[in-house]
Amino acid sequence: MREDAQASNHKPKRFNIIARPSAAHSSTAWNPRLLITSHIDVVPPYIPYSIDADPSDATDETIIRGRGSADAKGSVASQIIAVEELVHRKLIHPEDVMLLYVVGEEVDGAGMKRFSDSLEDPSKQFHGFESVIFGEPTENKLACGHKGIIACTITATGKAGHSGYPWSGESANEMLMRALVRILDTDLGSSDEYGNTTINVGTLAGGIAFNQLVRKTRATLPFAIKSRQYWQKKMQIISVLNVGSGTAS
C-alpha cells in the first residue's frame, strides 16, 4: 500500500510504504498491535553500494557500504527479514504486525506526520498500537528514548551597502555570525538520560558578491534537546539573538 506523504501540489510526489506480512489473510480485519517502522529517505552525498564479501558468505564482520546502508536501509532490510522469519516460525501472527516506511525523516518529517494524521481517519479502523519499534543505527543496542528536535531558521536583517564604504550599511552576515557564535557558546543544558543539547549549523544563505554589505541572510539549525525542555530552551535561544543594530529573529 502506498500513502501520499504530502500535499498534491508538491512535485515530485513522495509516498510512504505500508505493508503487512504476506501470510496475513486479506479477508481478516486488520487491527495490528505492533508497528515496525523506519525511514527510506537518505542524505547526500551519493556513495556507491558495495560489500566486502559474497552475500552468501557474509558474517558479522562483513562491511556493507553505500548511501543509506546504515541510516536507515540496513534497519529496513533487517526488519523485513526478521518479520518474515518470525511469521514463518509461527512466533507472531501476521495480522498483528504493520510495516511502515516513511519519507521525509531527514528534513521535515512529512511522511510520519502524514501517517499520524491518517490514524485519525475512522475508515482505517485502527484501535491503536500497543508497541512501536523504530529502526535506527544504534550499534545493535536497544534505545528506549531519544532527544527531541527544535528546527529553526534564523534571519538577520541589516542595511545593504558596498564594503568599500562600510559606514554606508550594516552587514546582515556579520550579525548572523555573531548570533550563531552566541548560540554555540550558550549552555543549553543536558540530562542524565540523553546527554548534552547539541546544535548543528546546517545551512547559511546570504549575499551574491564578496564586496557586498548584505541586507538579509539566514541560517537553519536543528537543536537536539530533551523534549520536556522545549519551551525553556526556545526562550533561551531567542534571548541571545540581540547582536547588532539590525534584527535577528
Q: Domain coordinates of the chain in residue numbers?
A: 2-134, 148-248
CATH number listed for the domain at residues 148-248: 3.30.70.360
32's grid cell: 495490528
Look at residues 5, 17, 1, 31 and name the one whose alpha carbon lies nearest to residue 100.
Answer: 17
CA angle 151, 15, 98 (to 5 degrees): 95
- Residue of 241, 234, 238 whose CA lies nearest to 177: 241
105 as an active site residue: the answer is: yes
Q: Determine phi and psi for 102, rounding to 5 degrees.
A: -105, 160
Q: Examine residue 166 and say whether the peptide bond preceding it is cis (omega within 30 degrees of 0).
A: no
Query: Which residue has 504486525 as its cell numbers?
Result: 97
Reference 178, options 113, 229, 240, 230; nearest CA is 240
User: Digits of tens for pLDDT over the chain (249 positions)?
Assistant: 666 665 445 567 889 999 987 765 555 667 889 999 999 999 888 899 999 989 888 888 999 999 999 899 999 999 999 999 999 999 998 889 999 999 988 888 889 989 988 888 777 666 688 999 999 988 888 888 778 888 888 899 999 999 999 999 999 999 999 989 988 988 888 888 888 889 999 999 999 999 999 999 999 988 887 766 666 766 677 776 665 554 445
Catalytic entry in 61, 85, 105, 193? 105
Distance CA 189, CA 197 (A): 6
Cα–Cα dist 105/33, whole Å = 23
Query: What residues form DSSP beta bridges with 148?
Result: 225
How is residue 97 written as a grid cell? 504486525
d(CA 151, CA 200): 10
Distance of alpha carbon 185 from alpha carbon 183, whole angstroms: 5
Identify the pLDDT of residue 127. 66
3-state secondary structure 89-147: CCCCCHHHEEEEEECCCCCCCHHHHHHHHHCCCHHHCCCCCCEEEECCCCCCCCCCCCC
The pLDDT value recorded for residue 2 is 60
Total-model pTM: 0.71
